[in-house]
Chains A and B, each alone.
Chain A
Amino acid sequence: MGAEFVQFSLTPILIGMFAAIACALPGNFLILRRQALIGDAISHVVLPGIVVAFLLTGTVAAIPMMIGAAAAAIVAVILIEAVRRLGRIEPGAAMGVVFTTLFAAGVLLLEQSDTSAVHLDVEHALMGNLESLIWLRATGWESLLDPAALAALPPELGRMAVVCALIVALTAIFWRWLKIATFDEGFAQALGIPAAGLGFGLVVTAAIAAVAAFDAVGSIIVIAMFICPPAAARLMTNRLEVQVLWSVAFAALSAVLGYVLAGYGPLWFGAANAVSAAGMIATVSGVILGLACLYAPHRARIGAAREDA
């Protein structure tokens, strides 16, 4: 593995890994809080955001798209809170109402706008363009030390690395709060932990991960990574600390294996073209979850009847 690997595979694999880890970390807590679908929901909300950004700017550049997506996510979180308080309905139902409405608004906007230009973008939103995030200036491993080559790295790599580092740092700093408040919210509040703000912060963090990742790798990976690696990790252990480490390992493994299989797998089977890397990464994470369901050491706990139930 030499120059060709560095040029064509290194950066997409790294971006895929950072995106997968950034989504999997908050995914652990969302699943334990029975809010797993929020990742799915956020990626739906992103659609009207990018359409509005496109209509306003007329370009498909990454920055306006990301700002639009982030704005849509914030609007959604505020709307959910409003529907929940004013309508006095449970959070799950409030989420359902808001996300469906926003997604429908996105589709409607899309139909009203110049479809030929935007159509391409919806596919982009779903599948991303991981394969195109290559490092053409690289000539081999030595390029990692070459400032000129480094300057030509795809900007998505830097963005995703920063977001991933931010989420790792937030998870580490707020670890004790997250653990206590996720297990026993009332107890956490009695200790003086701001559990409501923490829950809100968790959703915002998930939204940041989703928006950053959707630009580079598409919403398919986002949805898969929020759920599959943490769910598989839960089956490997009975300790939160270990679970989170497993989820990071599974997310990274999905990214690497998925990218490699998408690029070379079809060729091994005699097919002419590679398949979508994003789709393959999501598929690998699903297969890992399936294997965990069959063989993981602690699979009996999930869905098992409670002793006191």
Chain B
Amino acid sequence: MHRPDLAIAAHDGQALPTDTCPADSPLAVRGLTVSYGEKPAVFSVDATFPARAMSAIIGPNGAGKSTFLKAALGVVPRLSGEVRVFGTPIEKARDRIAYVPQRASVDWDFPATVLDVVQMGLYRRVGLLGRMSGRMRALALDCLGRVGMADFAHRQIGQLSGGQQQRVFLARALAQDADLYLLDEPFAGVDAATERAIIDVLKGLRDAGKSVVAVHHDLSTVRGYFDHAFLINVRRMAEGPVETAFTAETLHATYGGRLATTQIDEVMLSGGAA
């Protein structure tokens, strides 16, 4: 799907015109390097995500996709580089960002109900000591309704299927009422119906003027779901509108030998139909 009205549609995927972060981008990084040990997980990466668009972060396992998101959020410290969220440092933009971590990163046996988890998304508005008012509760319930989980509000989170857990995480992000949504593999391990429900919510956000950036593994749906693609394997491999950045060549470069040429051809053919 092509959206000609993207705010920053001009990048051709290779050269970036500026070496400072543009202020009109919801998320831009320059020279981002993150390392857990000797070897960097993300090395000298530049990226500029467009406003009011759906962007995909694509790359093989261990490519540094989650690390990239966490560094952008200040969850892991960066070794060097600059991160700008709506043109400001992340600390000043926390109210405008919603984050959905990888589902497997938390312990779902934690003693909490679905509503408890969604209310965590209201933290920035309620504060450390503020009271969770009836209005806030209603807001959380409304977010659950938007992902089709209203009936599960009082269920313990461990008693949900993987797809339902993913929806609860999405509802928590909706409760944050942000302008930029960062999602780490929102479609991991969900069935077709849930994937449909999630993509509808995300596209609804975009159509309401929000920006969505999601780590995405299913190459066959990239063209159907996303406007902008960012390919990473430790370094930035390609970036730009899906039509120009998401190609057989860039996939070869990003996945190396991990994808056979026939698989890539399949992706390129199936993409148009989605």
Contact = CB atoms under 8 A, between A and B. Distances in A.
Interface of A: 32, 88, 173-174, 176-177, 179-180, 182-184, 186-187, 189-193, 234, 237-240, 242-243, 298, 301-302, 304, 306-308
Instruction: List the 8 closest pairs (A to B, CB-CB), nearest first.
Output: A238-B156, A190-B99, A189-B75, A308-B162, A190-B73, A192-B94, A184-B106, A186-B101
B151 interface: no
B111 A184 contact: no
A190 B97 contact: yes
A304 B116 CA distance: 22
A187 B105 CA distance: 10
B110 A32 contact: yes
A62 B126 CA distance: 43
15 contacts: A32-B107, A173-B128, A176-B128, A180-B123, A184-B120, A186-B101, A187-B172, A240-B111, A242-B111, A243-B111, A298-B156, A301-B158, A306-B109, A306-B158, A308-B189
Contact of B128 (A177, A183, A243, A307): A177
A307 B129 CA distance: 34
A186 B75 contact: yes
Contacts of B91: 192
B34 to A, nearest CB: 14
B162 A176 contact: no
B255 interface: no
Contacts of B120: 179-180, 183-184, 187
A240 B112 contact: yes
A24 B109 CA distance: 20
B39 interface: no
Contacts of B108: 306-308
Most buried by B among A183, A240, A242, A301: A183
Contacts of B156: 238, 298, 301
A65 B124 CA distance: 43
Given A189-B75, A306-B108, A238 B113 contact: yes
Most buried by B among A190, A234, A238, A301: A190
Contacts of A192: 91, 94, 124
A240 B112 CA distance: 6
B111 A307 contact: no
Contacts of B6: none
B209 interface: no
Contact of A189 (B73, B113, B117, B158): B73
A173 B129 contact: yes
Interface in B61-99: 70, 73-75, 91, 94, 97, 99
B14 interface: no
B192 interface: no
Contacts of B117: 183
Nearest to B156: A238
B99 A187 contact: yes
B161 interface: yes
Contacts of A180: 120, 123
Contacts of A301: 109, 156, 158
A92 to B, nearest CB: 16
B208 interface: no
B160 interface: yes
Given A180-B120, A306-B109, A88 B158 contact: no
Contact of B107 (A183, A191, A237, A242): A183
Contacts of B107: 32, 183
B116 A239 contact: yes
B193 interface: no
Given A177-B128, A308-B189, A186 B105 contact: yes
B70 A186 contact: yes
